[in-house]
Each structure stands twice: as structure tokens, then as C-alpha cells.
Structure 1
Amino acid sequence: MNVRTEVLRVQPAVDYRGTFAVEDPLPREGAELPAGWEGLYFPFDVPLAGLRPDGSPEGDDVLPPVELPRRMYAGEDTTFHRPLRYGEAVERTTTLGSLVTKEGRSGELVFADLVRVLRVAGETVLETTWHDVFLEGSGSGSGSGSGSGPGRREPAVTGPGWWRRPAVLDARQLFRFSATTFNTHRVHYDRTWAREVEGLPDLLVHGPLARILVLDAARRENPGRAVAGFSYRSSAPLFVDREFVLTGHGTTGPDGEPGTEVLVLDEEGVAAGRGVVRWAS
């Protein structure tokens, strides 16, 4: 188990807003964090000696040793019990969930679940399971948000009533998100590494950034609603300087709860990720 405590300072949110979310009001002490912005806090704290060659953490004091060289965010399942507020002191506990080894198209894969609970003065405020995947060395043919993959790429099917929000992220924005979260994963800022070592066409957009952008888009299309839950799965990469589209529509959950489905479409219209937001009643 890993336990950390952090006061939710305003500045990381101010930095994020000025780079990605100028539509949102300026963060201030005591105000509510938008859902997803908790991902700006508890930045990576692994010492340099604890990093893999690609810059990702070796073990986070939770994971056992995994020999595969590459690590990627693959998705999450999160429950929001109430909004967090700027200035609150938050305790985060991280434990290991499942650890599964599989054989993929491009070799061995290890899927690791990290279970995190955020508490304020003993009150559970947020519970989340993040799904990470460890992969073989080359990124040119791998899945789970890491590479283009050799399979056939079919454009996603959307319909009437779907809203659309196009976006393009440049290298400055990727650098700022890496700096805010102290993320040293080289695929986000080192073009030589991304192209020559990982086999990627260019810098990779952070999976944890994509999940915040999905939640931001859903909130803006549903003003006044509070997020109660969020599930996200990354299925293909997004790259710097290439347009992608956040598109979504209203849904109804199995118990009749209101929700929003959001697809992240790459420049070819293929779904690179899918998020489902559950709204508080």
C-alpha cells in the first residue's frame, strides 16, 4: 500500500485551465474541482533511479517487478462520492488490484489495476481503479492505446443528436501537462525516443490528459450536472498536432440513471477511446 497526503492547491488547476480549459472559471480557494481535475494532483514522485528507460515509474511502491519495458494508461472506473474542493487536505491510498498476463498480437502484455481511494478527514470522497498495461518494446503494432496496430481500422458510427468538439494539441501543451503532473514518460516530449525507440509516428497525447478532456467536454454539454461515476477505455493512440474529435450523446444506464457516452475519434474517425459519464440524480 502507498499512502500520500496533499493539499489541493489552486495553482495546478490554474495552469491546466490556462492551457486546456479557458472556458472554465478561474479556480479559487474553497471552490469545487471539476470532475477529473483531481488527476492534476499527487504528481509522480518516483526518484530518477526508479524510472524505466522510457521514463515511466518502475513500481510506484505498489506493483511487483514487471520485466516489460513499456507502460501505458489503458482506462479507469471511478466513483465520485462528492466534489473535492481547493484547499482540502486529501489522503490517497493506492493498493494493487488484479495483475494479469496475456499474449497479444505483438507479444506479452501485463494488465495491472491500481486501486486508489481519496479521503478528506476520513470521509471517502473518490474511489477509482486505474488500468495500466505493460508491453513489449516496439510501439508500432501494439494495442491498448499504445500504437496503431495492424488490424483493420473502421471509423466509429455516430448518429443524429451527437455533439462534436474538435481539438488539436501541440507540443507546448503536452509539455505543460507533463510538467504539471511531473510525468517523465518520454513518448510525450522526446520525439527521437517516440519515433526511433517506440516506433510511433510522433509524440503521444497522454492517456490521463485525454480522460480529463473527455470529462471536461461532457460537463460543458451538461451544465449544472454533477458527475457520479466515470468509466473510460483507451483503444488507440492520439498524436500531437493531429486533429481529434470529442463527440457524445445522452444515454440511460441499466438502472435508468442519466449518462453521457463520449467517443474520442482520431483524425481518421476511428475511436481512440470511449468514456461513459454517470450523472448524479
Structure 2
Amino acid sequence: MKNKYYILLAILAFSQAVQARYIEGINWADEVVSHTDKIQSWADGYCGGPGAHFMDPNTPATTWWVLGPSDADGNGDMYAHDFALGDRDYVAGWRTGSLLHANQEIIVQFHAGIKDIEGADLVIRLFCGPIAKASVWASTDGNDFTQIGTIEGHLNQIPGIGGELYDAYFDFDGLFTADVHFIRVFREVTEPQSGMFFDSFSTAYIDLPGDCNEVGLFGWSLAGDINKDCYVNLKDFAMLANQWQKCNDPNDPDFDASLFDDPNSIPSTCHGVWQAGMGLAADINQDCKVDILDLATMIENYLCCNNPEDLNCIVNW
């Protein structure tokens, strides 16, 4: 078990050059670096109901289920199974009580580290059964992991009711001298009603920008600021024009596979494209098409700016 953590060291070194996934100051998990063979998705990725599928580490379409922002609760009621209301089944974890499914785990990576601040540092969104239990571990380097807490279900409570989402908060509490990059969740109970499914991993705090570089890094860029220079202007319009009418939605008749570097690593849905970090820069509304809707959004913010070092700009945080 420990040997695979040494491999993560190389992954960490490589990933430092990769843009982290921030949205309005919240840092979200960027990569699933390891998971055991019985980790399942709750459903097939489309609205319509459950149907277990085991995760395939070689297929990007099934490795981004717990990456990026919470996405199993489309209408904001903290319930993951409102399929008719647009909730997606983008969660992953374990549910069977068979001993064959014991010792399951998942490890996610944050390219930009999680700081140890005063109060909560990490939040994991999940739902689980009434007797579910998992230990949560953190590491700065992918080698040595330290337990930071547990998650337990409770009868007729949350967490403990299937589909009822819950935010579990964790405080590093001075355990680390460097930023944390890896979070590991390990299954501690393997019995009926001990299933546990994860929706997202993120920081429990918000980062605010001090300069334009941090505006883009921390995910505060204005819609339409494609080149992330804190101004929506002709430069952004030129970038949108360059990608005009391009489509990278795998389920669209106009899908263009040439937009992907590796044709064997294309997610199965538009949502998956964005979760895997493969979206088009000019696809402002993230529907995998660069069209009039993106242009309309750009026009709404045209000539606006949010450079914190420019006194003529209006900040949006």
C-alpha cells in the first residue's frame, strides 16, 4: 500500500505547473490519483436514477466524478436524487456490504495546496448509510499520511440517509508545516447500510486576490475575460472569434475530436469535458459550444474590469 504513495511524489512535482481548479476563491480537488478497484459511481452520469458502475482508472469519463465543484445537487436543496429537477449523479464511493468490498479508498489531489488556517480547512460533501464510517487522512507530499478525522453515518440523521448530502468539515489543527496536497478517504465499515458516496472535496475557506494574477488563479475572472488579464475588451473578442462555432461536446453532432490532444482520453459528456479540465477557453457558459450565447455574455461585461491594482476597476468579490 505504501509503495504507491512514492509514485505520487512524481505526480505532485509534475502537477505544480498545472492550473489549480479555483472558483470564486474556493480550491477544489483537481485529480483522482488513486482509488481501489471497487469504487463505484452511483449512476451512469445522466439524470434518471441509480445504477452502479465500477470506476475505470484508465478512462477519463469515470475519473472526474469527485473533482471540481459540487455537482450532485443542481437545485440547491442538498438532496442528490432529484433527477427530475436536474440533479446529476456525479458521485463516487462504495455501497455493498460484502466483505469483497472492504478496504476501499480514494485519494484526491489539490494542485494548489490547502493551507492550515484558523478553523476548518477542508470540506467533503457526501451522503452515506446509517452505519457508514470512513477515516480521512491528509498528506503534504503523497508519501506520509496523517489522520485528520472520521465521517460516520447515524440512524435517521444526516449523514446517514441515502441521497441527503452533508458537508463534513476538517481542521488540520497544526498537524502540518507545509500545505496539504493529498486527501485520502478509507472505508472502515463493510456491512449492509454502510455505503458512502462523495460529491466533492474543497477548501473550507475562500482566497481573495491581491493582484490580477491572483484574480485568475483564484477563479474571480469576469465572464468574458478569456485571456484573464482583468479586462474584457477586444483581445477577448479576438479569442472568442478564433474559436467561433467550435464544439467539443462528445454527444453533439458537430463534435470535433481534433480539439482534444488524445482521442483516447475524451470524457463521455460535456460536463465531463469541463471536469477533466478540457473545456474551450471561449466557451464562457461551459456548454461545449462557442456560439451566440457566449458572445452575449461577453457583451454584458464588455469594457468592464476587476484588476485590484487599478483604481478605475470594480471588484467582484
Decide: shared fold, TM above 0.5: no
When Rg is computed on C-alpha atoms for both structures, the one with the higher figure is 2
More strand by share: 1
TM-score of the aligned structures, taking structure 1 as reference length:
0.30
Q: TM-score, normalised by structure 2?
A: 0.28
